[in-house]
Amino acid sequence: MTALRGSLVLGLLLAVALVGCRDPDRGGDEPTASVTPAATSTAPSASTAVATSTPAPTATPLAEPRPAEAGTNQRALDHDGRERNYQLHIPPAYDGTTLQPVVLVFHGGGGTANNAINQTHFDKVADANGFIAVFPNGSGLLRRVLLTWNAGNCCGYAVENEVDDVGFVCALISELTSTLAIDPRRVYATGLSNGAIMSYLLACEAADLIAAIGPVAGAQNSPNCSPASQVSLIAIHGDADGAVPYEAGTPETQPDRRNRVDNSVAASTGFFVTLDGCDAQPTRSQSGSIGHDTWGGCADGRGVELYTVGGGGHAWPGGEPGFAGSDTPMTEIDASELIWAFLAAHPKPLRARATSPAEAPPKGHTLTSLPPVQGAPYDPATSLPLNRAAAVKGSPRQCLHRPPSSRATTCRWRTPRSAS
């Protein structure tokens, strides 16, 4: 959801919003678990230069290759009565047998998959580091342009038409893992603005599939976020963002037919600090206008980090502007490189721990913002690998989710391992 300015753009957005809406059924209250970033110190800053590397696979290579041509091509799948499409980028290092990570990159409101490629350069990062990058398209009245995601209270056409985007992503992950050599422990999500809010929602409702997220200029706006397992987080946000306010509230730039209230960066980050059992207070380093908060002590190798871009607006740092009139990206850091380095270091643990408010609160945190998990929590001992095509006793492994009107989509596998 890149902020657009000017009356011409506002006119185009009468039917499809760039920045989203407020859903009265979901509300805009902040989660009760909130951690404020630490004050600036003189501690040495972490280097923003990220060396390219391909992480070691976390699973056994496939016996039967799943070939794919290197480069970017468009693919489609049908979900919920709609034809959905995405841009699939295969790196040159892909060999069809070695299980690779996959990063889902969600465009901002009013954008497209191609727009996300141009803004983030994640295709180039994928080539340099040997992972698969997927750029899904949202939905819109015009079908090919001005696309949005139904991320709860944002945005536009997708919210107004109750598009089942979480279900689409579940189906997409299932499609990818059944046709390509993809490591199910290394499925990640990132995005800008509306796409960032979508990433947060996936952490809430598809945590059994997503290992870590890297939202840029987004907010955790789900009032009923109940992850099935812990999810690592790296967030990047400009403190002068007018489209998704750093300190919470109603966006200054909101050319939409409804109002929306975003949670603060502190509340959004604090939710994951609590979820992942991290230390309550972060350590901070400062380099130029970039503040870097890192929370230590997280459970099971999880991680939570926040990059605050001083004076930064609604943009992808180190990338390209989304549209004419968009905020200019800061260049002190490269968001794509930082996000990939973090994601690569945080696969799902071999034994993911399910989350529940009934557990003893870790390190002085409360879990009052985490309502009881709906359905069975994620457990690798009883959850099957992601393989939509496989069948166990005639029952295909499939992603189950509620109707889009319930706003409570979840992805879980219905066939227990003991049935095989």
pLDDT tens by residue, 21-77: 323 333 333 333 333 344 333 232 333 333 344 555 567 899 999 999 999 999 999
Report the distance separating Cα 256 and Cα 259, nearest Å.
Answer: 7
Residue of 390, 407, 6, 404 whose CA lies nearest to 184 = 390
Evaluate whether 168 touches 79 at the Cβ level (below 8 Å). Answer: yes
Question: What are 163's two structure tokens?
Answer: 């598009």
Evaluate whether 193 touches 109 at the Cβ level (below 8 Å). Answer: yes
Per-residue pLDDT of the chain (420 residues; tens, 9 = 90+): 444 333 333 333 333 333 333 233 333 333 333 333 443 332 323 333 333 445 555 678 999 999 999 999 999 999 999 999 999 999 999 999 999 999 999 999 999 999 999 999 999 999 999 999 999 999 999 888 999 999 999 999 999 999 999 999 999 999 999 999 999 999 999 999 999 999 999 999 999 999 999 999 999 999 999 999 999 999 999 999 999 999 999 998 875 677 899 999 999 999 999 999 999 999 999 999 999 999 999 999 999 999 999 999 999 999 999 888 899 999 999 999 999 999 999 999 986 455 543 333 333 333 223 333 223 332 323 322 222 222 222 323 333 443 333 333 333 333 323 332
Evaluate whether 369 touches 31 at the Cβ level (below 8 Å). Answer: yes
Angle between helix 194-205 and 165-179 (nearest 10): 80
- In the chain the first and final C-alpha atoms are separated, in Å, by 44
Residue 11, H or E segment: helix 7-12
Report the distance separating Cα 80 and Cα 168, nearest Å.
Answer: 8
Q: Is the dihedral of CA 68, 72, 75, 80 positive or negative?
A: positive
Using CB atoms within 10 A of its CB, is residue 72 exposed (0-12), middle (13-18) or buried (19+)?
middle
| Residue 96 CB coordination number (10 Å) | 15
Q: Which residues of 243-282 are buried (b: 16+ CB within 10 A; e: fewer)?
A: bbbbebeebebbbbebebbbbbbbbbbbbbbbbbbbbeeb
Report the distance separating Cα 237 and Cα 235, nearest Å.
Answer: 7
Strands 82-90 and 71-79 come out as antiparallel
Residue-range domains of the chain with CATH: 7-373 (3.40.50.1820)
Q: Which residues of 313-343 are buried (b: 16+ CB within 10 A; e: fewer)?
A: bbbbbbbeebbeebbebbeebbbbbbbbbbb
Report the distance separating Cα 240 and Cα 263, nearest Å.
Answer: 15
Enter the DSSP assignment of 33: -
Residue owning tokens 């270091």: 345
Cα–Cα distance list, 76 to 85, 88, 145 (Å): 4, 10, 16
What are the residues whose beta carbons fall under 8 Å from the beta carbon of 188, sequence distance 6 or more?
101, 102, 103, 104, 210, 211, 212, 213, 214, 343
| Cα-based torsion angle of the residue sequence 70, 73, 78, 81 in order, rounded to the nearest 10 degrees | 160
Residue owning tokens 């980028």: 89
Angle between helix 122-129 and 113-120 (nearest 10): 70
Q: Residue 236: its pLDDT value, please?
A: 98
Question: What are 214's two structure tokens?
Answer: 């890297």
